């Protein structure tokens, strides 16, 4: 009954939303968009605005709950949909035998099912089970598209057989390939990463996702070459202690950091796969945040906090703030701030730091983003759409001028090109539509659920 009432409330809101968005003028040119989204019943649906047709890609199962993640391929021709499906009542009682992880791949815009695989992951979403044992982790650590979008790799952590798969494989008559023999499987696998040129994979072996400082206990890194079907065990120089595996630096080098205090890092190192040696980038004596890596440009960023472990004395080494590793291999400060414990890339060339600040790394331009939540950024990084005070705003980042564009909450979205934005709006995010630079809005989907969505231009 509660679910039925919720559906009624969301449908009413969807009708109210229509009152806020007048029909697009007949002369306006609305771009054709393909949208993949969840509806109120947790079906995964593909909608093509050029034909007005909708088709169900994944049908919800009666009596079961589902949590989706959608990964759009870099070339925007396919979507990988990971579904964590379970019987809610059984999971709440401690029975996790009903849990099922499924990965499906669909082509765009026709929705052809290219692959359906049932797999087991180490509870990356942290739903309904003991999060002290397996804290939630990102789907991007376990399912990753190759840089050109031609292949996808994923991890399975089945008991007694942890392995990596690639689709499509280089063997014509095999849809996937196992990159680790069962007898070589060690611990759980995580942090799966493609090399920048798309010819190699690297991944970490984790013996436990729980430690005194809350960090996964990495005990080894493995690489695999798709070109010659060879694998390599990487032994970094950390005296047998656990460390962070961060990803690739170049096509033939990896990045790693020793664990620091409270899951931070102390130092940063590059491992050369050919020479088999480690090079110090930042000394181990320097406490810092876990480094972030922009896989599009291979830019490395990290933060240096102000205080030492006991929170009283100034830290030695680099002055507090956000840093990137420059082309000369040396750290360059791009933002000065006390007690800044983390940075991350929100899209290529845009670095998010504390104090609601976004930095355009190319020219070190800093933008104030305070009060503008859940922002999405234009491709050139000059504008953002976000929400505050229950309304949606467009902000020019250089001038900080804001223009109200909706009278409803902004939920999420994506800039499809320099002037077109796909977004979800409404108190429950029930409406998906396209906003264009001229200010017009075209409603595409009025019964979207609370799940994720993606869109591409037709």
| 114 confidence band (pLDDT: 50, 70, 90) | very high
| 68 confidence band (pLDDT: 50, 70, 90) | very high
pTM of the prediction? 0.87
Most confident of 2-11, 355-364, 414-423: 414-423
At 335-388, the pLDDT tens digits run 998 878 889 998 888 999 987 899 999 888 888 887 777 889 998 888 999 888
Summarize the confidence of residues 75-83 as an average pLDDT: 96
| 119 confidence band (pLDDT: 50, 70, 90) | confident
User: For residue 172, what are the domain limits?
Assistant: 67-234
Ordered DSSP codes for 265-319: EEEEEEEETTTTEEEEEEEEEEEEPPPEEETTTTEEEEEE-SB-TTSSSBPSSSP
396 CB burial (10 A radius; 0-12, 13-18, 19+): middle
Residue among 295, 299, 258 at smallest CA distance from 278: 258
How many whole angstroms separate alpha carbon 226 and alpha carbon 394?
44
Q: Is residue 303 part of a domain?
A: no
Whether residue 428 is predicted with pLDDT greater than 60 in this model: the reply is: yes
At 258-298, the pLDDT tens digits run 987 666 788 999 999 999 999 999 999 888 998 999 988 88
Contact predicate 267/282, CB 8 Å? yes
CB neighbour list of residue 24: distance below 8 Å, 6 or more residues apart: 30, 440, 441, 442
Q: What is the DSSP pairing of strand 441-445 with strand 243-250?
A: unpaired
| 323 confidence band (pLDDT: 50, 70, 90) | very high
DSSP state of 261: G
Whether residue 128 is predicted with pLDDT greater than 70 in this model: the reply is: no
CB neighbour list of residue 10: distance below 8 Å, 6 or more residues apart: 40, 428, 430, 447
For residue 349, what is the enclosing H or E element?
A: none
Q: Is residue 261 part of a domain?
A: no
Which residues on adjacent β-strands are paired with residue 236? none
Helix (H, G, I), strand (E, B) or coil at 417: coil
67 CB burial (10 A radius; 0-12, 13-18, 19+): middle
The reported pLDDT for the residue numbered 397 is: 87
Q: Is residue 209 part of a domain?
A: yes
CB neighbour list of residue 7: distance below 8 Å, 6 or more residues apart: 40
| 2 confidence band (pLDDT: 50, 70, 90) | very low
Torsion from C-alpha of 382, 386, 388, 391, nearest 10 degrees: 110
Summarize the confidence of residues 2-29 as an average pLDDT: 43
| 86 confidence band (pLDDT: 50, 70, 90) | confident
Whether residue 20 is predicted with pLDDT greater than 60 in this model: the reply is: no
The reported pLDDT for the residue numbered 339 is: 78
The reported pLDDT for the residue numbered 189 is: 83
Summarize the confidence of residues 399-426 as an average pLDDT: 89
CB neighbour list of residue 263: distance below 8 Å, 6 or more residues apart: 213, 214, 215, 290
- Mean pLDDT score across all residues of the chain: 82
pLDDT > 70: percent of the chain = 80
Q: Is residue 185 part of a domain?
A: yes
Whether residue 98 is predicted with pLDDT greater than 70 in this model: the reply is: yes
Beta strand segments in 108-160, E: 113-119, 143-145, 152-158
| 27 confidence band (pLDDT: 50, 70, 90) | very low
Compute the Cα dihedral for 102, 107, 113, 116 and give only its sign.
negative
| 132 confidence band (pLDDT: 50, 70, 90) | very low
From 80-84, 85-89, 151-155, 235-239, the region with the lowest mean pLDDT? 85-89
Tokens of 135: 């804290």
Q: What is the DSSP pairing of strand 200-206 with strand 143-145?
A: unpaired
Helix (H, G, I), strand (E, B) or coil at 262: helix
The reported pLDDT for the residue numbered 175 is: 62
Which residues on adjacent β-strands are paired with residue 76? none
Summarize the confidence of residues 205-227 as an average pLDDT: 74
Phi, psi angles (nearest 5°) of residue 208: -155, 145
Query: What's the start-to-end Cα distance of the chain, in Å?
Result: 39
Number of separate domains in the chain? 1
The reported pLDDT for the residue numbered 155 is: 87
How many whole angstroms separate alpha carbon 256 and alpha carbon 296?
18
Ordered DSSP codes for 174-209: -S-EE-S-GGG--SEEEEEEE-TTSSEEEEEEES-S
Contact predicate 329/278, CB 8 Å? no
Whether residue 141 is predicted with pLDDT greater than 70 in this model: the reply is: yes
The reported pLDDT for the residue numbered 380 is: 86
The reported pLDDT for the residue numbered 111 is: 97
Residue 230, domain CATH: 2.40.128
The reported pLDDT for the residue numbered 272 is: 96
Beta strand segments in 59-168, E: 65-72, 78-86, 100-107, 113-119, 143-145, 152-158, 161-167
How many whole angstroms separate alpha carbon 335 and alpha carbon 301?
11
Query: Starting from the edge strand earliest in sequence, which strands make up the sheet with 44-48, in order?
Result: 53-58, 44-48, 33-39, 448-457
Helices and strands in the chain, H and E counts: 2, 36
Most confident of 70-84, 224-238, 352-366: 70-84
Beta strand segments in 363-447, E: 365-368, 373-377, 383-388, 391-396, 402-406, 410-415, 420-425, 431-436, 441-445
Cis ω before 109 (30° cut-off from 0): yes
Q: Is residue 310 part of a domain?
A: no
Q: Is residue 153 part of a domain?
A: yes
pLDDT > 90: percent of the chain = 40
Q: Is residue 433 part of a domain?
A: no
Residue among 373, 302, 308 at smallest CA distance from 342: 302
Q: What is the DSSP pairing of strand 448-457 with strand 143-145?
A: unpaired
Whether residue 160 is predicted with pLDDT greater than 70 in this model: the reply is: no
Q: Is residue 175 part of a domain?
A: yes
């Amino acid at each position: 009954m509660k679910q039925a009432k919720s559906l009624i409330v969301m449908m009413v809101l969807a009708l109210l939303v229509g009152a806020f968005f007048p029909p697009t003028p007949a002369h306006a040119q609305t771009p054709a968009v393909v949208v993949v989204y969840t509806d109120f019943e947790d079906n995964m649906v593909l909608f093509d605005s050029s034909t007005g047709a909708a088709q169900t890609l994944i049908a919800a199962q009666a009596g079961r709950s589902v949590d989706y993640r959608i990964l759009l391929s870099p070339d925007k021709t396919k979507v990988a949909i990971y579904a964590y499906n379970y019987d809610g009542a059984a999971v709440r009682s401690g029975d996790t035998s009903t849990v099922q992880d499924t990965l499906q791949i669909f082509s765009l815009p026709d929705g052809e099912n290219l692959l359906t695989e049932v797999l087991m992951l180490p509870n990356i979403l942290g739903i309904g089970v003991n999060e002290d044992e397996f804290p939630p982790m990102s789907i991007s650590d376990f399912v990753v598209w190759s840089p050109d979008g031609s292949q996808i790799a994923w991890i399975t952590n089945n008991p007694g057989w942890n392995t990596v798969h690639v689709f499509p494989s280089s063997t014509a008559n095999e849809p996937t390939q196992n990159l680790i023999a069962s007898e070589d499987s060690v611990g759980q696998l995580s942090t799966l990463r493609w090399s920048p040129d798309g010819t190699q994979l690297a991944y970490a072996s984790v013996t436990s996702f729980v430690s005194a400082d809350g960090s996964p206990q990495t005990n080894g890194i493995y690489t695999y070459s798709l070109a010659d079907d060879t694998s390599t065990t990487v032994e970094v120089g950390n005296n047998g202690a656990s460390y962070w595996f961060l990803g690739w630096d170049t096509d033939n080098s990896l990045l790693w950091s020793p664990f620091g205090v409270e899951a931070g890092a102390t130092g940063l190192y590059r491992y050369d796969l050919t020479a088999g040696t480690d090079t110090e980038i930042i000394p181990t004596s320097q406490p810092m945040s876990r480094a972030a890596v922009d896989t599009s440009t291979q830019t490395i960023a990290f933060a240096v906090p102000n205080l030492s472990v006991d929170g009283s004395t100034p830290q030695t080494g680099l002055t507090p703030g956000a840093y990137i590793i420059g082309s000369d291999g040396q750290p360059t400060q791009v933002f000065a701030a006390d007690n800044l414990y983390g940075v991350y890339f929100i899209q290529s060339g845009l670095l998010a730091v504390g104090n609601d600040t976004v930095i355009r790394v190319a020219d070190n331009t800093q933008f104030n983003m305070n009060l503008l939540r859940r922002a999405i950024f234009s491709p050139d990084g000059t504008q953002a759409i976000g929400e505050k005070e229950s309304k949606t705003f467009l902000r020019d980042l250089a001038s900080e001028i804001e223009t109200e564009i909706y009278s409803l909450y902004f939920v999420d979205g994506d800039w499809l090109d320099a002037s077109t934005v796909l977004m979800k709006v409404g108190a429950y995010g029930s409406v998906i539509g396209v906003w264009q630079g001229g200010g017009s809005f075209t409603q595409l989907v009025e019964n979207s659920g609370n799940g994720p969505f993606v869109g591409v231009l037709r």
